[in-house]
Structure 1
């Protein structure tokens, strides 16, 4: 699954937060990261609210969302490098904060995120946080090693299909390496291979179905 970085420029207004939360939910749904939606929305809400409160309403701000290995990374960019959100040293999760610098919001981010921080830049600062996803790689799925292997096979299959222009639109579909039809095409080709080598495709399907159902029950 290609999880391409995306970003959005906006003005830091209280009414923008709801729209950003909806947009984030949509993107994470497409990325298959449903389990991170609530935590990610909370982090975006607090990071953007921090800009509204401590930098100013109407501040030109930018939200950037990427994958950093198996972590979802959320960044909020603003032009003020002075008011730095900082946790008191020597504190644990949900610590007391310097109210003038951060406030309650950073405590919530600190509580739900696996890690967070601030980067100073020539044009301002970036406040970021990262949430651990249940992925084996930035482009993997959450279904375990079998799903990861299947994705790799579909990727190779899509590459091979593009080498056969006679397949026309089908090659374009397979190049996406996503969705139901590419998987059906892979299964159909394997059944053709079994038939060509004297094996019973129905027996192979029955065996595969039995193994699948047994492993689903165990999981």
Structure 2
């Protein structure tokens, strides 16, 4: 006998190579291969999920952060690296996490930049610095299966 379904149960979309989307009560989780086309699809999924709930400026920041973090995965591990993106709405914030299978790569400490340098950060490959300036609660968790980078984006009013 199968378990009864609930409105908050995770529901996967039909799988396709390099892409597996699971919707959750307050967000979604995507298992993907990091390729350029996937970046646009993740941004579109974030936009679609968040648009009814948060202002456009918050969505743009989430899209920027997910692009920066997935680009870091691509740069560190190469094309077609596996990653998991999770976007969950919280009370006054959006929680974003990106996981990859490389536990021994990645930054261990944030570097602070003056506010006037924020524009240059997005162009220079220093996405974590940008996240530190525009987001909050960034942390890196190393696990037996890789690493996870978490951060919050405040919901602008």
- TM-score, length-scaled by structure 2: 0.70
Aligned to 2:29: 7
Deviation at 1:130, TM superposition (A): 0.5
Q: 1:115 aligns with which of 137, 140, 148?
A: 137
1:82 counterpart = 2:104: yes
Give yes or no for the alignment of 1:131 onto 2:157.
Answer: no
Task: Give CA-to-partner distance per residue, 1:52-111, whole Å, 9 cap, x none.
Answer: 00122111111111134322101111111111224456x35578xxxxxxx422222222
Quick one: distance in 2 between partners of 1:67 and 1:57?
29
**Structure 1 unpaired stretches of 5+:** 96-102, 135-141, 143-219
User: Does the 8 Å contact 2:46/2:59 carry over to 1?
Assistant: yes
1:54 aligned residue (67, 76, 85): 76
- Once residues 78 and 110 of structure 2 are traced to their aligned partners in structure 1, the CA distance between those partners, rounded to angstroms, is 23
Q: Structure 2: how far apart are the matches of 1:39 and 1:120? A: 25
> Which of 50, 66, 70 in structure 2 is aligned with 1:44?
66
Aligned partner of 1:159 in structure 2 is: none
Q: 1:35 aligns with which of 48, 57, 63?
A: 57
- Give the alignment's TM-score, normalised by structure 1: 0.51
The question of whether the paired residues in 2 share the 8 Å contact of 1:93 and 1:110 is answered with: no
| Cα RMSD for the two superposed structures | 2.5
Judging by fraction of residues, say which structure has more strand. Answer: 2
Which is greater in Rg?
A: 1
2:88 maps to what in 1?
66
Equivalent pair of 2:88/2:96 in contact (CA under 8 Å):
yes
Q: 1:122 to 1:93 in 2, by over 3 A?
A: farther
Q: Is the 8 A contact 2:54 2:155 kept in 1?
A: no
CA shift digits 1:119-164 (9 cap, x unpaired): 1111111112101125xxxxxxx6xxxxxxxxxxxxxxxxxxxxxx
Structure 2 runs not aligned, ≥5 long = 1-7, 9-24, 118-124
SS in 2 for 1:118: strand
Tell me how many residue pairs correspond in the alignment: 127
**In 2: Cα distance, 1:31 partner to 1:119 partner:** 28
- Structure 1 Cα separation of the partners of residues 75 and 107 of structure 2: 12
The higher relative CO (CA closer than 8 Å, separation ≥ 6) is in: 2
Contact 1:73 1:130 in 2 (8 A): yes
